[in-house]
Structure 1
Amino acid sequence: MADITMPQLGETVTEGTITRWLKQVGETVAEDEVLFEVSTDKVDSEVPSPAAGVVSEILVQEGETVDVGTRLAVISDGAAAPGAAAAAEAPAAEAPAAEAPAAEVPAPEPRQVPDAAAGEPGGDVESGPQAPAPELEQAPAARLPQTGPGEQRNGSSTRPGDDRPPARPGDGGGKVLSPVVRRLIAEHDLDASQIAGTGAGGRITRNDVLDLIDKRSAGNGASAPAPAAPAERRAVPAAAPAAAPAAPAAAALPAPRATERDTVIPFTNIRRRTAEHMVRSKATSAHTMVAVEVDFSAVEAVRSAEKGRFKESEGFGLTYLPFISRAVVDALGEFPNVNSSVGDDELIVHHDINLGVAVDLDFEGLLVPVIHQADGKRLRALARDISSLAGKARGKRLTMDDISGGTITLTNAGPFGTFITVPVINQPQVAIISTDGVRKKPVVVELPDGTDSIAIHPIGVLAMSWDHRAFDGAYAAAFVARIRTILETRDWAAEL
């Protein structure tokens, strides 16, 4: 018999939400066969079974959020336990009253498409469009140790009559809250004392908070606590990266209401998180954009000549994205301030270049896996990493290491022939570069004798959204111009 517990999916992850059980009570599971899917603040993952046997108990239902180490299920050896079949057939009405709300409908399995990369001129689409990349949130606060019944968490005793300040929205109201729940309560000005918890012992789960937020957005004021007074609101969410103070929030507009002629599509976990990250990024960084046209003739000459042999030896196609990645990494060596984060009245320049590459999940969401130490890799190695991470993202096999520590991001909508994209910065980074469509265009070229002529060349736009707090326009323009020069003049045949 084996106990299945909530895995530690990263050093800073303290809890997870069961989104789907792939096996039910009474069913047989093989060792390393996927048993359930779990969602955390950082990544959605499929968790394999550590042992073979029969699922005899499921202790945590879909939609529930529990701490790392919590028992989730029991796998017994051989045949199912005597009560397993009965438990599997028990009507839903007999479920415990404190069961968590139903989980969201899982996103459909992503279609198999090649890695995210710019499309060939006039060729087939090689990846889905890339939306702005979600930020990588800072680590949640470490969970404090449990205390005795007569102690506070700061070690002092609690006695009747002790003076305590009144609870404020977001401070937990004296309840023990996870970092994720505490952040959601703070960001939406909720009062924890007015939220009914459905977790073990009345604990407030993430779904409890999200249900209340959804009800309030739909205009059900009776079920939502009144917003806190302005003086009680927190200026910056607990999980926001260290940065300059955010601008005052604008007055909230009433949420739109659906009519009978509208279709309502509930946000999935990844859609909700992306929305939160994008709004927070726009409120944090002074977004500015710069763009250049790039002549990809030098790249295309090598790519066209080598793509057949490359695919035969590597097993995947050679796209524009590895070339662009290599040029970006080299340009960062000359313009290091682009590879940075804004701290508390300071610019933190990162010496490691960890390149994030946005990957579309069949229009259902976006993940940004990271190529660590990208400055130490040549073209072929970068191409392998891009293909591998894209495959892992679409197969829900990314680990915390795969999505952590990015210092600059590439996002790509080129396969759909876009002209120019202005992406949202992936916090806490200060720059994100978009790769748009490459297509053949007439251009003016200078002949050896100094005269001009018209030629047909593959042309594309590279655009960069950057944080004006970190550097100014001249620095940003010089950086993207250096990327263009590298792409247009390097001997790319030597790279392969």
Structure 2
Amino acid sequence: MDVVMPQLGETVKEGTVTAWHKKAGDKVQAGERLFEVTTDKVDTEIPAAASGVLAQILVAEGETVPVGARLAVIEEAGGAAAEEPRLSPVVRKLLDEHGLEPAQIRGTGTDGRITRRDVLEHVGRQQAPATDEPRGVALSRIRKRTAEQMALSWRTIPHVLQAIEVDFHAVEQARGTLTYLPFVASAVCKALVEFPAVNASFAGDSLLLYRRVNLGIAVDLGEEGLIVPVVKDAAQKKLPELARAIQALSEKARAGRLLPDDVTEGTYTISNPGRFGTLLTAPIINPPQVAILSTDAVVRKPVVVGDAVVVRPVGVLAQSFDHRAFDGAYSAAFLRRVKQILESENWSAALAR
């Protein structure tokens, strides 16, 4: 039977084979993990659909093919097993020089053949670098894609940064064990409905204004990189539901269980470095979106309320926006509206709904 590139989401048109867990000639069991596919920053393990022998691998690791393309062939159990991949003289010599056996190395060439690069990479992994030498660290797939996207954004988008200080006293009185993030997200969603040009993206010479607010929440994956799962129709959700949706997507992201549809169709993004104590962050816009918000640390500080000086929890919200989409006054009005909502909303009532 043919192994094909699966349809992993409604908007997914292609995928990249990032790893084969079997090589040509190996036996496979139905349900056993066979290969990994990357689409839109999401890595998905694909199980074998049938038991038998992996007779051929038609698409090598790193290749991108459309949905439905043939990737490999599994012969039913009892069929003729595939021959052991042949070795070129160069590869055989390298194996002999390093005292290696073909079975120790997973081939990435056509039909699972072991290439010179496969051998050298295997040897490199076995040799620990000298302690006084710099150590090269390969970038993860997520970090590579993030680097490409951010470099493109910085080259092509005229970024402008604006920041506003917010008194989180009203939020503090109601939030209990919740973080500040869902409250900021709720206020942002309300403001985006009133300021549609912020909830938009570029398409050629046009600005697309979205009716739906699909809110991206940047999630830190440590050394692996950054990923932005999307809460669909966030403006339609009440505060408790929005908080649960953000928490669920963040947990899925850190567990590596996001699906391609979880990271598509975002219209606005929030980055949340404040838990690290940052004062002000200038985030890079996630194209084709036209703005992104950073929520920085909330700290207790003296503020003037009426004629009195009181101690309040205060934090900075900073928005980077694309100056081609709108001007500074529009962005400032949007930020002011977010601030007004955060400072004046009855958050206890919002949590009880």
Q: Counterpart of 1:457?
A: 312
Q: Counterpart of 2:5?
A: 6
Which of 280, 284, 295 in structure 2 is aligned with 1:420? Answer: 280
Alignment of 1:76-91 (within 5 A): 83=81
Which digits, 9 at most, give the CA deviation of each residue in 1:299-332, with x for residues without a partner?
111112xx3xxxxxxxxxx221111110001011
Alignment of 1:57-456 (within 5 A): 57=55, 59-60=57-58, 63-67=61-65, 68-75=67-74, 83=81, 261-304=133-176, 307=177, 318-446=178-306, 451-453=307-309, 455-456=310-311
For 1:427, what is the secondary structure of its paired residue?
Answer: coil
**Pair 1:480–1:21, CA change in 2 (3 A):** same
Which digits, 9 at most, give the CA deviation of each residue in 1:252-296, with x for residues without a partner?
xxxxxxxx8433223332222212211211222210011011111
Shift of 1:17: 2.6
Distance in 1 of aligned mates of 2:244 and 2:222: 21
Asked if the contact 2:56/2:74 (under 8 Å) is kept, the reply is no
Amino acid at match of 2:166: V
Distance in 2 of aligned mates of 1:334 and 1:47: 41
| Structure 1: tracts of 5 or more residues without a match | 106-259, 308-317
Return 388-397 or 20-29, whichever deviates more. 20-29
**Pair 1:484–1:70, CA change in 2 (3 A):** same
For 2:3, what is the secondary structure of its paired residue?
Answer: strand
Asked if the contact 2:28/2:53 (under 8 Å) is kept, the reply is yes
Aligned residue pairs total: 320
Shift of 1:51: 3.3
Return 389-398 or 277-286, whichever deviates more. 389-398
Asked if the contact 1:6/1:66 (under 8 Å) is kept, the reply is no
Normalised TM-score (structure 1): 0.58
User: Which has the larger share of helix?
Assistant: 2
For 1:20, what is the secondary structure of its paired residue?
Answer: strand
**In the alignment, structure 1 residue 466 sits paired with structure 2 residue 321:** yes
Normalised TM-score (structure 2): 0.79
Which of 458, 465, 482 in structure 1 is aligned with 2:337? Answer: 482
Shift of 1:58: 5.3
**In the alignment, structure 1 residue 43 sits paired with structure 2 residue 41:** yes
Distance in 1 of aligned mates of 2:134 and 2:106: 36
Amino acid at match of 1:279: A
Distance in 1 of aligned mates of 2:7 and 2:328: 43
For 2:175, what is the secondary structure of its paired residue?
Answer: helix
Shift of 1:23: 4.9
Which digits, 9 at most, give the CA deviation of each residue in 1:369-398, with x for residues without a partner?
111111111111111211222222223332
Q: Counterpart of 2:20?
A: 21
Distance in 2 of aligned mates of 1:403 and 1:58: 32
User: Which has the larger share of strand?
Assistant: 2
| Aligned alpha-carbon RMSD (Å) | 3.2
| Structure 2: tracts of 5 or more residues without a match | 87-100, 122-131
Asked if the contact 2:202/2:288 (under 8 Å) is kept, the reply is yes
Distance in 2 of aligned mates of 1:303 and 1:491: 11
**Pair 1:16–1:278, CA change in 2 (3 A):** same
Asked if the contact 2:2/2:72 (under 8 Å) is kept, the reply is yes
Asked if the contact 1:296/1:487 (under 8 Å) is kept, the reply is yes
Amino acid at match of 2:312: H
Which digits, 9 at most, give the CA deviation of each residue in 1:76-129, with x for residues without a partner?
666x866369679855899697568659x9xxxxxxxxxxxxxxxxxxxxxxxx
